[in-house]
Each structure stands twice: as structure tokens, then as C-alpha cells.
A and B are shown apart, each in its own frame.
Chain A
């Protein structure tokens, strides 16, 4: 009753017109409907269950043989006639010779052969696989090592040994190196000791000095205080 009142007041709050409408049921229905409904329903359920569950007697026990019979019947002769009418007309006689009383004296018991026991787990197989793995590993390692060595500059230099290079090419290379050094303004002074390719002797120095004016030499000596060059000339 409380819920009816609350629902009515809720509806009134939304729409007075709707709340005022009569709640009478306009639909018609026979009086016996509900009395008979449960009985009719159970009958329907029982019929449904019987239909879905019933099968003829011995259905499953005879089913395989019936199916096989049908398969054999179907088309075996008709198929042969389609493929080769001549073969279909030929008599099905067995031409092979069988000794007399063969089937009567046939011993059906099989020989007791012992099955070969093969081990699933085989040491030989494992050893073979291990050896193959080791060899493969060694090959990979040596290949990788070789590759590393052949790509280094030192290896390249060793490959191209000095006997393959001419003197002109070495001098030309050194000239290029000198040019690069000049460009880069090397910090290390070029001295006689580290300029190994220049043959320095007294005669060469004398020739160089003769080209330089005496006054310049004197000036140089006075500045450096060196007595070395006084004995040259």
C-alpha cells in the first residue's frame, strides 16, 4: 500500500494527467485460461521430451550393418558398368592355385615374435649430435676470428707486404703524409732524430749553410749563444 501511494505521488509529480488515468485492464481473456495453462504446459513439455529422446528399438545395434550394406549396395556394379562394360560382363573367377586342404589345415596361431625393443633414449644419437654441435661451433668461431683479423688495418698491411710495394709509391705516400702533417700543424717538431728518412750529414749541412748569408748566421749565433756552427766554415 505504501509503495502504491509513493508510486502514485511520484507519477503525480511528473504528470497529474497520467496519474489520474484509470488503471483498469482493457484486455480480455477467457476465465479458464489460467486454470488450464499449467496442465497444457506440462503436456507440451512431456511431448517435447518424448520427441527428442525416443528412437526405434535396436536402432543403434543394427545401425552399422545397415549403413555398410547400403554402401556396398550402392553403385558397385553400376560403377563398373560405367567404367568398363566389358569388365562388368566378365566372370569373376579366381585363377590362382591353392594346395588341397590348405584352409582346413591352416594354422591360425601366429608365431610368437619378440618385439624389438628400441630405446627411445639413445646415447649414440646424443654423442653424434654433440660432436656435430662442437664441430659447428669451432667452424663458426674460426670463421668469426678470421673475419675479425682480415678486417683490421694491420692484417691488411701484412697482406700487402713490402715486396709488393715499389719505392716510388712509398715516397709518394710519405709526401702525402707530410702534407697532411703541415696542414694539421703538428705539435711535435721535426728534428733530425725523428725525421728518419732524411739523411743528415755534415756535408749536407755545409751546403745548406753556404746558401744562407753570413750576416744572418752571425745574428743567429749571437742570439742562441751556440758555438757549434763556428767550426763549420
Chain B
């Protein structure tokens, strides 16, 4: 058995005990917070927004861990919550700001511009600008594959999409980013 998987099982078991609930939860948060944070941050850009989403994700985890049945890995489960919460957050922002679906990429681009040390000439920022032009699903797939180096099988469990569709999404995302970088 995967040692990480057995460690997660132990943490979940300790969480279900009232006496060790808080300590187990703290351990889970510390174990996964960075990976989840950066996944959220790449989607919402802004740190304050990412922090709000992070809190929502782990509060949901706190409320849902008692019923967690280990059918999937704990990380997969947390990532799925993180992706859903990020997308919900972006939808709410769009509605509040009356932003159309077509302008959502532009809206995130503006957020990037307001980031500290932003420089559109630098490759790293150009890449981020290119990523924000992608449709939501492609953006998530690209981030998970390119930055997290996640396998398609694991990604398929998080996004509940077939491996073939994910491969196609990644392919299209890379092509669009290449096109943006070469033309800007």
C-alpha cells in the first residue's frame, strides 16, 4: 500500500475521534495547504481571493471529513473541492462585477497587471497572461499537468473527465499558449 495513502487513512481516522479531531485536522492542513493554495492562486490570481477560497476549501473539508470513505485519495478529494470552490468564487465575482464569460480572461489579466513585480516582458508573466486567455477547464488541466506534473489518471479522478479528453485539453491549451507567446 502507498505509504502516503496509509498516512492519510490514519489522519482521517484520528479526525473522526473527538479527542484528536483538531490535531489531525491541523496535520492535514499543514500537509496539503501549499499545493492546494498554489492551485487556487493560479486560478484566482489575487492572494486575498486565494486566501478566501482556501478557507472555504478547508472548512468544507472539516465538515465533510467525517463522511469521507477513502474511495479516493484524500489529496484527490481536497483538490476536487479546491477546483470547485475556485470556479464558484470566480463565477460569483463575475456576477458581482457584471462580467461576461468573454471578458473573464480580460478581468484576470487585469488582476495579473496589479500583481507585485508584474512585468509583461518577462517570460514567466507572459506565460501567466497566456494561461488566463484559456477557457476554465483548459486552464485547470494545463496548471495541473504543467506545474503540478500530475498524471492523467489522477487528474481524471479530480475533474471527473476521461483521460482522452484531458489529453486533448492539454494539447489545445499548449497550442493556444504557444500562439499567444509567439504573437505578443
Contact = CB atoms under 8 A, between A and B. Distances in A.
Contacts of A4: 149
B55 A44 contact: yes
Interface in B1-19: none
Interface string A32-67: 001001110110110010000000000000000000
B123 A42 contact: no
A7 B182 CA distance: 22
Nearest to A14: B174
A3 B127 CA distance: 22
B117 interface: yes
Given A7-B146, A7-B149, A11-B174, A34 B55 contact: no
B33 to A, nearest CB: 6
B47 A29 contact: yes
Most buried by B among A10, A11, A26: A26
A18 B181 contact: yes
Interface stretch (B23-31, B69-77, B100-108): B23-31
A26 B132 CA distance: 14
B74 to A, nearest CB: 16
A118 interface: no
Interface in B112-154: 115-118, 122-125, 127-128, 145-147, 149, 151
Interface stretch (B34-42, B90-98, B157-165): B34-42
Contact of B38 (A3, A25, A42, A45): A25
Contacts, number: 78
Given A38-B33, A45-B59, A26 B181 contact: no
A21 interface: yes
Give the interface residue-count category, chain B: 35 or more
Given A22-B124, A29-B47, A41 B147 contact: no
B26 A38 contact: yes
Instruction: Give the dominant DSSP class at A's interface.
Output: helix
B81 interface: no
B66 interface: no
Contacts of B181: 17-18, 21
A28 interface: yes
Give the interface residue-count category, chain A: 20 to 34
Given A38-B30, A48-B59, A26 B124 contact: yes
A129 to B, nearest CB: 56
B58 to A, nearest CB: 5
Interface string B53-71: 0110011001000000000
A42 B175 contact: no
Nearest to B182: A17
B151 A3 contact: yes
Contacts of B124: 21-22, 24-26
A42 B128 contact: no
Contact of B25 (A25, A42, A44): A42
Contacts of B25: 42
A23 B175 CA distance: 17
Contacts of B115: 26-28
A15 B22 CA distance: 47
Nearest to A29: B47
Contacts of B118: 26
Interface of A: 3-4, 7, 10-11, 14-15, 17-18, 21-29, 34, 37-39, 41-42, 44-45, 48
11 contacts: A7-B149, A10-B170, A11-B146, A18-B174, A26-B115, A26-B124, A34-B37, A41-B58, A41-B59, A42-B25, A45-B59
Given A11-B174, A38-B26, 7 more contacts: A11-B146, A17-B182, A18-B181, A22-B123, A26-B118, A27-B115, A41-B55
